[in-house]
Amino acid sequence: MNKNTLLYAGLIIFGLAGAFIFPAYKLQLSFLYILIVLAMTWDVQGGQMGYNTFGNILFFGIGMYICSSVQIGMFFDLGEWTDAGGEKTFVHTTPQFFQGLAVGLVMAAIIPTLIAGIIGYGILGLRGHYFAICTLALGIAAGEIAGGIEIIGAGQGMTVPVWPKDFGSNELSSEFFYYLSFGLAVTTFAVLRWAYSTRFGLVLNAIRDNEDKAESMGINTMRYKIIGWMVSAFFVGLAGGIMGHINGYIEPTEIAFAGPTFGVFMVLMAILGGKGTLWGPLVGAVIFHLFKEGFWTYFLGWQYVALGVLIVVIVVYFPEGLMGWLREKYPERFGEVIDEADRKAQVELK
């Protein structure tokens, strides 16, 4: 059995058994899986394609709102639900909850994907920092607009449907969403791993390296850019839908369209791990989550100060990330063949 198979098997066993080995950390682990999805999908744009986006948070928020709204709207009046606020006068029965959740998650995947396809044609024509600022504005505008729409609770936010008590305890609920988010993370990883190994991945890298040249070689770059963004939107939308349930509450600017938190987290995780690699964002997400939880627990109140410092330090001193650093140090492990004579010649030249 080769090393990679062992690694994958180990990770999957860890994930499957995690809910029972660390019952107290179930919520943290499901949160981690969501973060992994966010980091890996950000890397499709930021790392592989060279389009640094702040706007993937848009799909996260839309997915979150769509999932819950559909789930509620299928059985109750959405306006009355949000008016009632925290009062739980409406309770989903077990079949209603799961039917609603299934339809909600499907919609939470489809609608952000469509939106990415539509706006992608306009926005992905921008390059470099214009793209970055435009997507930053897009995410914040979405949050502000969601904060003004009455039916989804405006600035107050809305509660998500409560877990049906007659189906099982709250313990079962957190296990259910644990496996849902774990499944999403595994699927995302598998799909992206496959996609990077195909022509699609090569085209994305070609766009990153030199877009004009790729276009002059006959590649319809716009189509690939849009497809790439749609893939990201699909998984981020699903992650948003699940995150709404893990969190239990949706709020427009702090949770759903949270530019200064999740929107920056995903960039930071990918850069921390090493952007443009398959494993980098995953490793970055794990390290970042550990760091974040440590700070959020022991230095509560100072966490955003720490976050700001962390961003500056990583960006200024560590832009290649962990995988980039490892690659520099042990190129052989990454399948790069080094010609010793050539290397020596280069060193002497320097």
Partner 1 sequence: MDFLIFQAPMLMVQATMDGLVIGIIFALVAYGMALQWGVMNIINIAQGELVIMGGYIAYFLYIAGIHPAFGVLLSPIIMFFVGVGIYKLVINKVVDRDLFISILATFGISILAQQLMNFAFGADVVVADSGFGTLMMFDNSVVLPMSKLFSASVCIISAIILVAYMKRSKLGRAIRATAQNARAAKILGVDTEKVYAATFGINAALCGIAGACVAMTFTLHPYTGLPYTIRSFMIVIIAGLGNLPAVAVSGMGLGVFEEWSDYLLGTEFRIAAVFSLLVIILVYRRFKLARKREYLK
Distance CA 191, CA 207 (A): 20
In contact, 287 and 241? CB cutoff 8 Å: no
Closest Cα to residue 62, out of 241, 183, 317, 190?
A: 241
Inter-axis angle of helices 26-43 and 3-21, to 10 degrees? 140
**Amino acid identity at 43:** D
Regarding 217 and contact with partner 1 (CB under 8 A), the answer is no
Taking phi first (over 0 means left), then psi (-120 to 50 degrees means alpha), and beta for anything else, what does residue 97 get?
alpha
Choosing from 115, 123, 207, 243, the residue that interacts with partner 1 (CB under 8 A) is 123
Distance CA 336, CA 331 (A): 6
Choosing from 148, 248, 294, 331, the residue that interacts with partner 1 (CB under 8 A) is 148
State in angstroms the smallest separation of the CB of 46 from partner 1: 9
Number of residues that bind partner 1 (CB under 8 A): 40
Beta-carbon contacts of 319 under 8 Å, excluding residues fewer than 6 positions away, are 271
Choosing from 129, 329, 333, 350, the residue that interacts with partner 1 (CB under 8 A) is 129
Q: Which is nearer to partner 1, 114 or 310 (CB)?
A: 310
Beta-carbon contacts of 95 under 8 Å, excluding residues fewer than 6 positions away, are none
Q: Which is nearer to partner 1, 52 or 232 (CB)?
A: 52
Stretch 154-183 residues interacting with partner 1 (CB under 8 A): 154-155
Q: Which is nearer to partner 1, 43 or 101 (CB)?
A: 43
Candidate ranges 97-105, 118-126, 327-335, 339-347; the one touching partner 1 (CB under 8 A): 118-126
Regarding 52 and contact with partner 1 (CB under 8 A), the answer is yes
Candidate ranges 11-19, 72-80, 144-152, 237-245; the one touching partner 1 (CB under 8 A): 144-152
Show the tokens assigned to 219.
């590649």
Distances (CA, A) of 34 to 12, 133, 235: 16, 25, 10
Candidate ranges 110-118, 128-136, 158-166, 225-233; the one touching partner 1 (CB under 8 A): 128-136
Beta-carbon contacts of 287 under 8 Å, excluding residues fewer than 6 positions away, are 272, 273, 322
Regarding 118 and contact with partner 1 (CB under 8 A), the answer is no
Distance CA 65, CA 69 (A): 6
State in angstroms the smallest separation of the CB of 140 from partner 1: 5
Choosing from 214, 258, 269, 307, the residue that interacts with partner 1 (CB under 8 A) is 307
Three-class DSSP category at 250: strand
State in angstroms the smallest separation of the CB of 130 from partner 1: 5
Regarding 325 and contact with partner 1 (CB under 8 A), the answer is no
Q: Which residues bind partner 1 (CB under 8 A)?
A: 52, 122-123, 125-130, 132-134, 136-138, 140-141, 144-145, 147-148, 154-155, 260, 264, 267, 271, 302, 304-305, 307-312, 315-317, 319
